[in-house]
């Protein structure tokens, strides 16, 4: 996914030091399937894995619940008990062959939810569960018609990563467990039911429409996704379709017209595209992430529709996840850098082919500085800066924002520097080919790295990169002409010389962002006004620029900005963009007394995950 709510939780306990060693499950080893202990799931590694599920889902927009039936097929028969993850689910029944199965739900855990324990499962490999979701299921957002662009029909969508699939259906909610499924999604007439799966047929039943889906490729539960609303579509190519609310379809289709080109570039780097289709669903504004790589159907934030195609890289990123993330998946959330670091690396390579190395390096520089800002805030020696953090069952997104992305990227780039691009590309192809449709952990990756590129361990300190804090001193240096130019203009600004409109006229969004990012967090109010006019930020549709600017304007005491900030916070749901603005409001003298009222206004429009992240942040700041 593209970075979302910036949640930082205290990790209980200290970071242990690790050494690269051969794990109990070498990639060369035996026939036994690899089983991972996952601190974020009640999945018992001794139990068989779910192989396939047949679902029926019926959302009820009145009660904000989905009534579900699921028929499970296990890879081998169970022995005695069988455990599944749930979160706020109501279980209606459990049956095998028409006979009731004993079940019980455990005590709720604030992170994990409730363990569903099925008893008397000896010899059973097929069973059925009836259940319904809670109106506050963390995976689901229910929008009223007024919260959509069209204002006509309600809207429902899911966000399962990292551990929210369990609030839609009972499952082994660990990224190490993969299954196939079919699903019937029943929605009121006039609405579309979309899933990250292959559409088989649409059936008309009285006043309802039944959308039948099939997911023939195995996926971990976090890649399960559904949406329902008034959604129309436009085909970009034989395998790319854009879905959006009708009001946004034309702009979205123009913005993402190059998607087929991106797929061709990605295939060059990674090998065949294994998911048949690559469709995009443009989400309602409250969507908390830049995008989510749901297989076959990426969910993408409307903040990427800026009318200038400047967010190609978000699509490049989600597309790259089709290989690194969806095809080769991190086994636990402590290994998330295997998804995000690799995907950032590939996003960067795709950008190099399409926009040139200058542009790609500038984007890399912007994002690296953003990560370093975060590290600066929490301390370079914080355990949250570790590439493979120890989460100990706490928040699955326990690392600092962007660390898994940018430090992961820098690590892979460093390896590339050590062995040369040609050798690294050979390694990448083999890495994907050998791990397709499996989930692996960091140790397995390191085993594979040392086996395939043995010289790397003599050229860099792998332990320091993977288990050390902060940003390694030997990280690749990003140099570009564009970056130098901007740094010069920033240096002039520091001496009191402001850039004029001619100097910035031809700047791309990223040049503007780099410039804003380099400005001091506190400026004079006059300077704030000057910058606002220079980049026409009052009329801009660019949420990225606005986020960078508002953060500074608030710290600088530019109080007249408040109405613009309020309108920004009530229309944008994306964590990466709104969290820094909320943080600035909550920690600045003039604005902190306003936060409670403002949040009260915005809360109903935001995704439950976002609200959770914000409330945590507010209470941390208040401490």
Catalytic residues: 318, 405
Specify whether the CB–CB gap between 194 and 297 falls below 8 A. yes
Q: How many CB atoms lie within 10 A of CB 75?
A: 13
| Phi and psi based region of residue 113 (left: phi greater than 0; alpha: psi -120 to 50; beta: remaining) | left
- Angular region, 185: left φ>0, alpha ψ -120 to 50, beta rest: beta
Minimum CB separation of residue 575 from Zn ion in Å reads: 13
Q: Residue 311's closest CA among 371, 372, 366?
A: 366
Alpha helices in 436-480 (DSSP H): 442-452, 456-459, 462-467
* Residue 340 CB, nearest approach to Zn ion (Å): 5
Nearer to Zn ion among residue 42 and residue 337 (C-beta): 337
Angle formed by the axes of helices 357-378 and 481-494, nearest 10°: 50
Q: Is residue 29 classed as helix, strand or coil in its secondary structure?
A: coil
Smallest distance from Zn ion to CB 292, Å: 8
Pick between residue 142 and residue 405 the one whose CB is nearest to Zn ion: 405
Task: Name every residue whose Cβ is closer than 8 Å to that of residue 39 and which is 6 or more positions away in sequence.
Answer: 332, 334, 391, 392, 393
Crossing angle of helices 562-571 and 575-587, rounded to 10° = 140
Nearest approach in angstroms of CB 574 to Zn ion is 13
Nearer to Zn ion, 1 or 415 (CB): 1
- Nearest to Zn ion of 173, 340 (CB atom): 340
> What count of residues does the chain have?
623
Please report, as residue ranges, which positions from 554 to 593 form the binding site for Zn ion (by CB under 5 A): none
Which of residues 176 and 314 has its CB atom nearest to Zn ion in the complex?
A: 314
Least distance between Zn ion and beta carbon 289 (Å): 9
Binding part of the chain for Zn ion, among 1-9, 106-114, 173-181, 516-524 by CB under 5 A, reads 1-9
Residues 126 and 371: their CA atoms lie apart, in Å, by 47
* By CB under 5 A, residue 519 contacts Zn ion: no
Q: Does an H or E element contain 208, and which?
A: strand 208-220
Binning the chain into helix, strand and coil, the percentages to the nearest 5 are 40, 20, 40
Looking at beta carbons only, is 335 or 340 nearer to Zn ion? 340
Q: How far is the CB of 290 from Zn ion (least distance, A)?
A: 8
Six-digit token string for 366 = 């912007």
Residues 62-81 that bind Zn ion (CB under 5 A): none
Min dist. Cβ of residue 403 to Zn ion (A)? 13
Cis? peptide before 162, omega within 30° of 0: yes
CB nearer to Zn ion: pick between 139 and 516: 139
Site string for Zn ion, 331-350 (x = CB under 5 A): ---------x--x-------
Cβ pair 554, 561 in contact under 8 A? yes
Question: What is the rounded radius of gyration, in angstroms, for the C-alpha atoms of the chain?
Answer: 24
**In a 3-state reduction of DSSP, which class is residue 59?**
strand
Q: Indicate the DSSP class of residue 24.
A: S
Q: Closest distance between Zn ion and the C-beta of residue 429, in Å?
A: 21
> Within 10 A of 152 (CB to CB), how many other CB atoms are there?
14
Question: Strand ranges (DSSP E) for 144-207?
Answer: 155-158, 178-188, 192-195, 198-205
Task: Count other Cβ atoms within 10 Å, centred on residue 321.
Answer: 26
Pick the closer one to Zn ion by CB: 290 or 302. 290
Q: How far apart are CA 281 and CA 300, in angstroms?
A: 6
Residue 521, judged by CB atoms within 10 A of its CB (0-12, 13-18, 19+), counts as: exposed
Cα maximum dimension of the chain: 80
Residue with tokens 């993402």, as numbered in its chain: 256
Would you say 343 or 517 has its CB closer to Zn ion?
343
Q: Tell me whether residue 68 or residue 401 sits nearer to Zn ion (CB atom).
A: 401
Cα–Cα distance between 84 and 319 in angstroms, integer?
31
Nearer to Zn ion (CB atom), residue 265 or residue 340: 340
Judged by CB under 5 A, the chain residues 341 through 400 that form the site for Zn ion are: 343
Structure tokens at 385: 């800066």
CB of 553 to Zn ion, least distance (A): 29
Shortest Å, Cβ 346 to Zn ion: 10
Kindly state the smallest distance separating residue 343's Cβ from Zn ion, in Å.
5
In the complex, residue closest to Zn ion by CB: 1
Query: Binding residues for Zn ion, how many (CB under 5 A)?
Result: 3
Q: How far apart are CA 387 and CA 383, in angstroms?
A: 9
**Using CB under 5 A, which residues numbered 414 to 473 contact Zn ion?**
none
**Strand locations in 550-616 (E):** none
Contacts to Zn ion from residues 266-295, by CB under 5 A = none
Mention every residue, 6+ apart, whose C-beta is less than 8 A from residue 506.
none
Say how far residue 434 (Cα) sits from the centre of its chain.
25
| 1 lines the binding site for Zn ion (CB under 5 A) | yes
Those residues whose C-beta lies under 8 Å from the C-beta of residue 35, and which sit 6 or more positions away, are: 45, 176
Q: Which residues of this chain interact with Zn ion, rule CB under 5 A?
A: 1, 340, 343
């Amino acid at each position: 996914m593209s970075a979302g709510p910036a949640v930082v939780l205290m990790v209980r306990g200290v970071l242990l030091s690790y050494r690269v060693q051969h794990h109990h499950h070498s990639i060369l080893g035996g026939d036994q399937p690899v089983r991972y202990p996952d601190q974020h799931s009640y999945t018992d590694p001794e139990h068989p894995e779910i192989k396939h599920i047949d679902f029926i889902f019926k959302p009820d927009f009145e009660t904000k619940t989905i009534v579900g039936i699921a028929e499970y097929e296990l890879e081998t028969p169970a022995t005695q008990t069988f455990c599944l993850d749930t979160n706020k689910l109501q279980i209606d029944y459990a049956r095998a062959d028409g006979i009731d199965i004993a079940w019980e739900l455990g005590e709720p855990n604030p992170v994990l939810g409730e363990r569903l324990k099925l008893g008397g499962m000896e010899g059973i490999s097929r069973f059925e569960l009836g259940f319904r979701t809670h109106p506050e299921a963390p995976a689901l957002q229910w929008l009223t018609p007024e919260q959509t662009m069209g204002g006509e029909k309600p809207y429902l969508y899911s966000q399962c990563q990292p551990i929210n699939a369990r609030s839609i259906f009972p499952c082994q909610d660990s990224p190490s467990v993969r299954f196939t499924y079919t699903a019937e999604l029943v929605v009121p007439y006039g609405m579309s039911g979309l899933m990250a799966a292959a559409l088989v047929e649409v059936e008309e039943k009285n006043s309802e429409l039944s959308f039948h889906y099939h997911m023939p490729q195995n996926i971990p539960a976090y890649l399960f996704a559904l949406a329902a609303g008034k959604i129309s579509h436009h085909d970009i190519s034989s395998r790319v379709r854009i879905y959006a609310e009708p009001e946004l379809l034309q702009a979205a289709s123009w913005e993402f017209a190059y998607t087929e080109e991106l797929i061709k570039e990605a295939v060059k780097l990674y090998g065949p595209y294994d998911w048949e289709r690559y469709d995009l669903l443009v989400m309602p504004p409250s969507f908390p992430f830049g995008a989510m790589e749901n297989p076959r159907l990426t969910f993408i934030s409307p903040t990427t529709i800026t009318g200038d195609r400047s967010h190609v890289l978000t699509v490049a990123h989600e597309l790259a996840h089709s290989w690194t993330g969806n095809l080769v998946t991190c086994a636990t959330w402590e290994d998330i850098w295997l998804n995000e670091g690799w995907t950032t690396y590939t996003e960067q390579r795709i950008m190099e082919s399409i926009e040139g190395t200058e542009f790609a390096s500038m984007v890399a520089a912007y994002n690296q500085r953003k990560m370093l800002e975060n590290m600066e805030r929490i301390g370079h020696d914080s355990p949250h800066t570790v590439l493979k953090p120890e989460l100990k069952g706490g928040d699955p997104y326990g690392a600092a924002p962007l660390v898994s992305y940018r430090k992961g990227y820098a690590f892979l780039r460093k390896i590339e520097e050590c062995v040369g691009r040609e050798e690294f590309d050979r390694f990448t192809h083999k890495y994907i080919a050998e791990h397709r449709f499996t989930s692996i952990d960091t140790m397995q990756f390191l085993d594979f790295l040392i086996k395939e590129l043995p010289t790397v361990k003599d050229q860099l300190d792998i332990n320091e990169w993977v288990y050390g804090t902060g940003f390694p001193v030997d990280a690749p240096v990003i140099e570009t002409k564009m970056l130098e130019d901007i740094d010069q203009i920033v240096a002039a600004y520091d001496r009191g010389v402001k850039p004029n409109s001619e100097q910035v006229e031809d700047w791309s969004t990223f040049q503007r962002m780099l410039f804003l990012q380099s400005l001091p967090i506190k400026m004079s109010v006059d300077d704030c006004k000057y910058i606002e006019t220079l980049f026409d930020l009052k009329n801009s549709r660019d949420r990225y620029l606005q986020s960078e600017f508002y953060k500074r304007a608030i710290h600088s005491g530019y109080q007249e900005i408040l109405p613009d900030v309020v309108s920004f916070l009530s229309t944008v749901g994306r964590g990466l963009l709104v969290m820094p603005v909320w943080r600035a409001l909550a920690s600045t003298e003039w604005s902190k007394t306003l936060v409670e009222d403002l949040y009260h206004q915005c809360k109903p429009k935001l995704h439950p995950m976002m609200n959770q992240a914000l409330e945590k942040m507010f209470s941390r700041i208040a401490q």
